[in-house]
Structure 1
Amino acid sequence: MSTIRSGEGGGTAPRPAPDARQGRFPLWVTILACSLPMFMVALDNLVVSTALRSMAVDLQASTTDLQWFVNAYVLSFACLLLTGAALGDRFGRRRVFVLGIVVFTISSIACGLADSSAQLIAARALQGLGAAAVMPLSLTLLAEEVPDRKRNLALGLWSAVSGMAVALGPVVGGAVVEGLDWQWIFWINVPVCLVAIPLVFAVLGESSVPASRLDLPGMLLVTAGLVSVVWAIVNGESEGWSSGVIIAAFAAGAVLLSLFVLWERRARQPLLPLSFYRKRAFVFSNLVSASMYFGVFGSIFLLAQFFQMAPVRTPLEAGVLTLAWTLMPMFVAPVAGALTNRLGGGRLMAAGLLLQGIGLAWIDLVATSDTPYSRMVGAMIVAGFGMGLVFAPTAAVVLASVGPQNRGKASGANNTVREIGGALGTAILSSVFVHYGSDRTAEEFVEGMRPAIWIGVAVVLLGALCALAIPRHVASSPGEEDDPVAERERTSVTP
């Protein structure tokens, strides 16, 4: 059972039942308190992409530098999500959530003040560290604050905010670069922080997992393993997928993650209980997340460039054209969240991924060097509608498949898989694009984009099949299955 820390004596007291807590603030205020910091973090995943050319001029950055302006954030963010969730369970979720907001904002200021590539890369890595605390705890705190009967609707609205951040990233980046300077894509985080922190303290209660201890060996092993794997993914295209350094990084990651699994089987309070992976709903929901982000992020990365070339447009114009796709989850995700219990999360995810696959295939079939936007907008609406059907049911199923005290760990694991899927999709689709085409002309760009997006279609449709394996009704098993000590006794191996 989660606890709330008292403000006077530093002890703990039982958290009141969710329905009893709902008299203080309307539901939308609670969602805003959890979602506003998450919006800031998600926005910075894509906001840099449309500002890279301006950064290259001002900082005299090389192509490798430009890649690390993006990858430094992705690397630290993806690899520390599990650690961020664990720190929240141990030291207080609200406390670590606010600390993540502060770190993210201070590093945003450092990004805005950077006058060299090295400074900006270091500040972006620090941003990812703060984001790794904000993202999983945002979802966990929301699940703690909202009563069960309203949880899926709240998750739908939370997902809509997340989708809006994805949608506005390229647009905000393009608008800021055209109207101001690239530094302002980081300075806009400061007023968000000034609003978010007092709102969080006013609206959200403190919670933690009683008597929890940090699994330091597990944290070190999983972080080192994920750093090796994610580094290999984001550098695979530039170094060559068959190069010795990439193969060595993948091998090191595999060894470290294998050691992590062996350690978790014996840990008294594991960072990631392996019992999660005996739950079909949890496993297949994570596969759905990975496949969706693989297809979505890889495809949007190419389409944002395609709209700047065929015909030639400004970054802002290209970002605006992608809104037909990326704004749809704002409208669809809340409805999908409300329907999750009635229709089943797996069914909604399968339908969403099928629509994404149809939309991507449609785009691929009509794309030419001079395709009118009117011929593509329908496909983008279909793909965006599908994306909206996936966000909220995935979050709902992942949280429902574990006990309340494990929501932070489950959220961290799901966000980690999601980010790795997005990084892998961008890297692989970019590599296929480079093999078959180039960005020298619109014709050559389309030649490379077509086979790349077909791979995205295949992965998304494979995810739809995984979604069909998710049980219609998902609930955590009480007692032993969520007990870390019982888990250790069941799975430990005698040396």
Structure 2
Amino acid sequence: MADTTATTLAVGVLRYTPAGAGMPLGDLVWLTSAAFIPIAALLATAGRWADLFGRRRVLAVGLVVFVLGGIATVTVDSWSYVLAARAVQGAGAAAMIPASLGLLLGELPESQRRGAIALWSSASGLGCLLMQAGGGWLAAAVGWRALFIPDVIMGVLLLIACVALPPGKRGGPRGLPDMLGAWLLAAGIAVIVLAISKAMAWGMDVLWLALAALALLGGALAQAKHHRLPAIDLALWRRPRFVWGWLATWCFGALSYGLLTVQPLYLLHLGYPMLEVAMWLTPTSVAVVLTSILAGRLVKRVGAYGLIYAGSLLCGGACVLVLTQAGPTVWGLIASVVVGMGVGALAPGTSVATTLAARPHQYASAVGAATMARMVGGAVGVSVVSVVIDHPFMPGPLSGLAGALAMCVGISVLIGAIALTKITRLRTDPGDVMIKVPRRMLLELRMTLATVAAEADALLPVETRTPPMVTPSNPSLDPPLDRVPRPRTAEPGPLAGTRGPAH
């Protein structure tokens, strides 16, 4: 997330400085899309491989690739090479994201996993906060390339920290993975993101890309049906809980990355220097961190979709509040904080809704598929926002930015509708038959049954009573079944002298 924040800041700097003069916004946002395409394309496959081959191993490989891509982004000269370096970083991030959360969840008991997901989400907000706090100074003092230097430093430190991490359990059968299916899936998703990003520039030609993407994805699904270790875990997609969470995550990606793109562009368009822009954005990240931590406690009470519904209301309401303002005011600052609160609720809510819908051996696969949805949605959000800003449909001096905010309001309404629909569905999803009985309840039930058995035994004639089984060490406790029963002295019950059937 620090890298994503650096990218959005770099796009704003290039947009309003001579370094990017003459380049349309649709070309500048490829600094973001170039990383989104490999992330979205490889996430599902990387998550699957993390479950199969070890999550720490996949995490370390992703960090190495990410660091190398960051070094290239800072050092290469040509814009085409910069975009290629960003694609390399995206490939590394695709391995890091599902392996990190999958490793975390695999080492914790079930009761702590929701809180762990919330802390994991708050860490992403912390990455935004650190980059916004220092990114403005780096961009103003050194240049837009310096924004990617912290990525390299953090990547090296995390790579060293991998030595102390547990290896992570491997799940599922062993064997060779479905390489053909993995390449087909990656290519299909990459073509989809490319078609979305170039829809306005290429016009009707993107229809051919859409047909090619459908053919590639169809081939990946065909491979997954008969391969022993498929690239797509079809068992996940048979779970309605996961599908609903996936849809909410897709919309959240479009909303969050759309807002990340609009915020700095809005302030830079008004003439604010980069340092002041970073200061205006900092309260949003602070709100994301604090709300994500608080959401870890609230999710047990209101549920994942309760958090999603609240987050959509906060984000949509904040965008409406900004639309009523003519420029940066106190109300605009309040709106930025509310946006952070909304994103801080949506991030853990969508993560819990998708990840915990999977089985423990599928955690990394679920994280990969869900984050893929978020990145594809993010590519849609960035592309739509850039198109609306360059081709405004609303009147006024800030017509393009106002139109982008109006699109964010519409996406917030869609997320809220998905959450509300899921909240009102009371049917249990198939395959989720899990009954949790507290130990105290079991002990009380055992004592009750023992009392009933003793009373029933006292009502029977002496010769038909069941002799108890005892142990030499502690005759008062229930003995193991392999002990020889010893008869006991008859104890008359309240109906011992009555006549009637023995039963």
Using structure 1 for the length normalisation, give the TM-score: 0.79
- Output one character per residue of 1:7-63: Cα deviation in whole Å (capped at 9) or x when no partner: xxxxxxxxxxxxxxxxxxxxxxxxxxxxxxxx5555555353344359973999887
The equivalent residue for 1:81 is 43
Q: CA deviation at 1:160?
A: 0.7
- Tell me if structure 1 keeps the 8 A contact 2:12–2:265: no
- Tell me if structure 2 keeps the 8 A contact 1:437–1:449: no
Confirm whether residue 194 of structure 1 aligns to residue 156 of structure 2: yes
Structure 1 residues 231 and 344, CA gap change in structure 2 (3 angstroms): same
- Tell me if structure 1 keeps the 8 A contact 2:39–2:93: yes
After superposition, where does 1:58-77 map in structure 2 within 5 Å? 66-77=28-39
The equivalent residue for 2:69 is 107
Confirm whether residue 185 of structure 1 aligns to residue 147 of structure 2: yes
- Output one character per residue of 1:76-103: Cα deviation in whole Å (capped at 9) or x when no partner: 1221111221232232210110111111
After superposition, where does 1:321-470 map in structure 2 within 5 Å? 321-366=280-325, 368=326, 371-436=327-392, 444=397, 446-470=398-422
Q: How many pairs were matched up?
A: 430
- Distance in 2 (CA, whole Å) between partners of 1:476 and 1:165 is 38
- Tell me if structure 2 keeps the 8 A contact 1:80–1:223: yes
Q: CA deviation at 1:399?
A: 1.9
- Tell me if structure 1 keeps the 8 A contact 2:316–2:409: yes
After superposition, where does 1:95-134 map in structure 2 within 5 Å? 95-134=57-96
- Output one character per residue of 1:257-311: Cα deviation in whole Å (capped at 9) or x when no partner: 233333333333322223323322211111111212212221331231111122x
Structure 1 residues 316 and 355, CA gap change in structure 2 (3 angstroms): same
Structure with higher Rg: it is 2
Structure 1 residues 316 and 474, CA gap change in structure 2 (3 angstroms): farther
Q: CA deviation at 1:322?
A: 2.2
Using the aligned pairs only, state the percent identity: 26
Greater shift, 161-170 or 224-233, is seen at: 161-170
- Structure 1, unaligned stretches of length 5 or more? 1-38, 480-495
- Tell me if structure 2 keeps the 8 A contact 1:154–1:337: yes
- Residue identity opposite 2:162 in structure 1: V
- Output one character per residue of 1:361-399: Cα deviation in whole Å (capped at 9) or x when no partner: 221222x2xx24212122222222121111112222222
- Residue identity opposite 2:361 in structure 1: Q
Q: Tell me the SS of whatever aligns to 2:144.
A: coil
Q: Tell me the SS of whatever aligns to 1:291.
A: helix
- Distance in 2 (CA, whole Å) between partners of 1:100 and 1:200 is 11
Using structure 2 for the length normalisation, give the TM-score: 0.78
Q: CA deviation at 1:248?
A: 1.5
Confirm whether residue 158 of structure 1 aligns to residue 120 of structure 2: yes
Greater shift, 128-137 or 290-299, is seen at: 290-299
- Distance in 2 (CA, whole Å) between partners of 1:175 and 1:473 is 53
Q: CA deviation at 1:421?
A: 0.7
Structure 1 residues 429 and 187, CA gap change in structure 2 (3 angstroms): closer
- Tell me if structure 2 keeps the 8 A contact 1:94–1:207: no
- Tell me if structure 2 keeps the 8 A contact 1:45–1:74: no
Structure 1 residues 448 and 63, CA gap change in structure 2 (3 angstroms): closer
Confirm whether residue 290 of structure 1 aligns to residue 290 of structure 2: no
- Tell me if structure 1 keeps the 8 A contact 2:181–2:224: yes
- Tell me if structure 1 keeps the 8 A contact 2:41–2:189: yes
- Tell me if structure 2 keeps the 8 A contact 1:341–1:473: no
- Output one character per residue of 1:127-149: Cα deviation in whole Å (capped at 9) or x when no partner: 11111101111111111122322
- Tell me if structure 1 keeps the 8 A contact 2:259–2:408: yes
- Distance in 2 (CA, whole Å) between partners of 1:168 and 1:176 is 12
After superposition, where does 1:236-251 map in structure 2 within 5 Å? 236-237=199-200, 239-240=201-202, 243-251=203-211
- Distance in 1 (CA, whole Å) between partners of 2:99 and 2:167 is 13
The equivalent residue for 2:458 is none
The equivalent residue for 2:466 is none
- Distance in 2 (CA, whole Å) between partners of 1:358 and 1:182 is 32
Structure 1 residues 268 and 45, CA gap change in structure 2 (3 angstroms): farther
- Distance in 2 (CA, whole Å) between partners of 1:452 and 1:46 is 15
- Tell me if structure 1 keeps the 8 A contact 2:316–2:413: yes
- Residue identity opposite 1:228 in structure 2: V
Structure 1 residues 201 and 474, CA gap change in structure 2 (3 angstroms): farther
Confirm whether residue 276 of structure 1 aligns to residue 236 of structure 2: yes
- Tell me if structure 2 keeps the 8 A contact 1:98–1:197: yes
Q: Tell me the SS of whatever aligns to 1:276.
A: helix
- Residue identity opposite 1:246 in structure 2: V
- Distance in 1 (CA, whole Å) between partners of 2:74 and 2:162 is 25
- Distance in 2 (CA, whole Å) between partners of 1:140 and 1:362 is 38
The equivalent residue for 1:485 is none
- Output one character per residue of 1:114-133: Cα deviation in whole Å (capped at 9) or x when no partner: 12223222211111111110
- Tell me if structure 2 keeps the 8 A contact 1:280–1:470: no
Structure 1 residues 105 and 54, CA gap change in structure 2 (3 angstroms): farther
